[in-house]
Structure formats: structure tokens, C-alpha cells
Amino acid sequence: MTNNASIRICIPVCQQQIEALATDWERAAKIADVVELRLDCTESSVDELARSVGELLSQGSHPTILTLRAAEQGGQRQLSQSERIKFWNQQQPSGSQLIDIELDLAETWMNDPPPGLDWSRVICSHHDFTGVPKNLKEIYQQLRATPARIVKVAVKATDATDCLPIFKLLDHARSAGRELIAIAMGNAGIATRILGPARGAFLTYGAAHDEKATAPGQITAEQLTTLYRIRTINTESAIYGLVGTQVMHSLSPHMHNAAFEHEKLDAVYLPFEVHDVEQFIRRMVHPRMRELDWDLKGLSITAPHKSAVMSTLDWIEPEAQEIGAVNTVVSEGDRLLGYNTDATGLIAPLLRKFQSLNGMKVAVIGAGGVARAAVWGLRQHGAVVTLYVRDQDKARLLAEELGVACQTLSLKPFTGYDILLNATPLGSLGERVQQTPATKEQLGGVQLAYDLVYNPIETEFLRQAKLAGCDTLGGLEMLIAQAALQFQLWTGRPAPTQLMTIAAFQAST
């Protein structure tokens, strides 16, 4: 597929000093289609800023957006409307320059425009960092009523379903022939940043690098182009994704997008931060109910939705029914099908190491969907399993369903177990990264410590296990094995497992 020339990536530049702003502008111009100069980040006076920016722009011709954002709209400094008007009165955008102003300024200019104002170079924008306003359509109509050529709406998403009103605005603007920038900010809104341009958005924003993001959920320009291949996405592209509450550190997008590219599939895999999985499936996924016109083909399901998602599906394979958890959803016709590839994926590395698990004593820590798959898979191979949990009342039903003993997790040693398996999120990248379900004092005598957390590769649990003299196994092998099975379920093709392995290792180092 050829690149989509209409897709534009804008890199915002935010610096306190004009000199640093100029340096970053020059760097960003080498990789971005458009550079936004966030002038509200600077410490300069309005007059000094106007003079310096004029001199700066005279030195280059790269497409540039000038933004002097009001504080109540996300600006980095307090500027009155009169100060903003004073600045813009001294600017005459030309060539490939655009200016981004708020609605209050646009409405003022409709009655008293600055000298030489060219509305074809104006973006009229509205930002809401608290959520999706109920009157979003009304706000859009107010923005659209100005003479500004381009309208911009940015709202805060707290769940992936908050992307829906943004996608609907894009569809409306495209049918009306209006140029619109529409973004759902925050991790839950990333789908709008990646898919927006293919659905008609004038541009999308990407940071120069992770530390330079100027809005919540703003991923890098490099991620947009290389990881998500944004320039090849179109309205016919198949959509896949990871559904959970902590999805931003996942390696799954790296593996699956690399596999799609290798297999020359017109498809993209996205992270979906979802808190209400039933609403997400109903409104955005299920072929008979979804409110969005897109070709969603399949999903990976992660914590905490592996059991809850089952009530939304039309058919579930017997193994997943027995486990009580689904980690893979396939959209087939007008039905959603559920599978579990976790059990096979997590057992595969153990069989490579031991050949047989029959009679081995295994302690599994956790009570979520992965723990269910682990217990089921281990028992299928003859292991003697004991479940360890913090809240025994909560896990008692699970233990009874799976036919295993259940113990309360404490500081007692795991003496007598061949394998200790961590099926909790403890140790995963983020606020839990320093946590471990067991210490070296508890691990003495355990033959193998198996951590299903895969990012980081070496968790605190695995470090404690090594100090105790245990053999160790990380979760990356399991991740790759279950992902390969997912790929085959979605596409009907054998997964390029070696390529997916390389992609996962590269992304994790």
C-alpha cells in the first residue's frame, strides 16, 4: 500500500527560552510534517516574543503553527485576552504558517479583526482537560460558526469509549467538507491520535520524544510512523487491539504490528484503555451493536477483564469456558468468539525446560484471569497445584472451580514446591515495579521461579529468586507464545514467531 500523503504529523515544541525554542523547531522540522511553536511556554514578554518569533520565522519555511494558548485552555502561563490580542496584532502569518487561537479570540476578531487577518490561516480550538463535555456538539458548532478555516477539538478521555464522540465529529466534518483536528487526550484516547488522520483529521500530534509530550497521552512521532505505521492506515484497515486498564507498557503492539507489516496485512494493533469492558464491547466492538464504522477484527484481553468479557461474547471455546477466562476475541461475521491462548502460552516454556510436569508441585500466586489459565494448564499436564492469594474468601470459589487447594499468601517460605509462579501484576512497569510477591527468604529450595510479568524483563521477583539460588523464567516467552496463537486465530496464518520475538526483545530493552 502506498503512503497516504494527506496524513500530517505535527510535533509541538515547548521551551521557556526563545533560543531553545528555535533549536527544537529546527530539529522537529527534520522529522515532522508540521511544527507547532507553543509560545505560551516561553518566559518572554509579549512584545519581546512577537519580535523574536518574527525573526525566527523569517529564517525558515517549514509548515508551522503558532500557538499562544490561554491558561484556561491549557496554556503554560497566565495571559489576558488583551495580551494575546496585542501579540497577534504584531503577527502576519504567511507562506505555510498557521495560527491557533481560542474561541473567545475568534469571536472578538469577527467584530474587530487585526490588520490583514487571513482566516484561511486560522485554527479555532477548544480544549477540555477534565473530560468529554456533554455539549461537545454545541461547542463544535460554535467553533464552526467562526470564519476560521480549521476547527480543533481536544477533550480528555478516561475510557476508550470516550473516543466515540471524537470519531463521530470527524465523520460529520468530513461529510460537511470541513477541516477538523479532533483529539481525545489521555491514554484512553490514543486511538484518535492514530486513526484520526485516516478518518479525515487535518493532522495529529506526536511528541519529539517521550519527555517532550505537551498533552496527556501524546505518543511520539516515531511511534506513530514506525510502530503504528500511521501513513499506511486508511478507513479500510483492519483494527486489532489490547483491552485492559494498564496497557501503555505492553509489548503486544510491537509484536503484532511487526507481524502485520511482515505479512503485508492492511491492519493495525492499538492499546485500548478500558474500565467498563461491557460498554466498550457493546458500543465499539460487537458487529451488531457498535456505533463506529470500522473493521474491528479481534482483541487481546488483559487484566482485569478476562472473566468479565465472557458475558459479552456469542460463543466461547470449551477450554476457555473451563478456565473461566478469555484473553482472545475474534470478530467473525456478526458474532464475537472467545478463546484462551494464555494456558498454552504459559505452559510451553515449562515443557521446553522440564519435558514433563507430571507430579511436580507448583504454587501459583494470584486469582485473576492469568492465574486461572495457569492452574488449568498445569493441572492438564499433571502438576499438583496450590493457589496462594491475599484474600482467601475472594479466591475460595476459584479454587473450588479448578479443584485445587488454596492458601493465604503470607511471609512463610515456599518450601517443598518445585515451581513458584507469579500470576499477579506485582513487579510490572509503573508504580508496582519495585514490588515482589515473594522474597529470597521465602524462595529457598524452590527449583524454578516463573514470573508471568514480562515488562521489565527482570522483575524484582526474579532478582529475589536469583539471590535465593533458584532457576528463573520470565514472562516474555509466554507472551510471545500466546500472541502467536492469537495471530493465527485472527488471520488464519501461521505467526512469524521469530520476528515477533525480535520485536518484543527490541521493545523491552
Residues marked as catalytic: 306
Whether 465 contacts 443, CB under 8 Å: yes
From residue 30, alpha-carbon distances to 6, 41, 99 in Å are 18, 22, 21
Q: Using a CB cutoff of 8 Å and minimum separation of 24, what contacts does 101-109 make?
A: 101/68, 101/125, 101/148, 102/69, 102/70, 102/73, 102/126, 103/139, 103/142, 103/143, 103/146, 104/70, 105/70, 105/81, 106/143, 106/146, 106/147, 106/148, 107/146, 108/81
Residue 8 has a CB neighbour count (10 Å cut-off) of 19
Element (H, E) at 489: helix 476-491
State how far the Cα of 421 lies from the Cα of 434, in Å rounded to an integer. 18
Name residue 185's beta-bridge partners: 156
Length of the chain: 509
For the sheet with 448-451, list strands across it. 405-408, 384-389, 361-365, 419-422, 448-451, 471-473
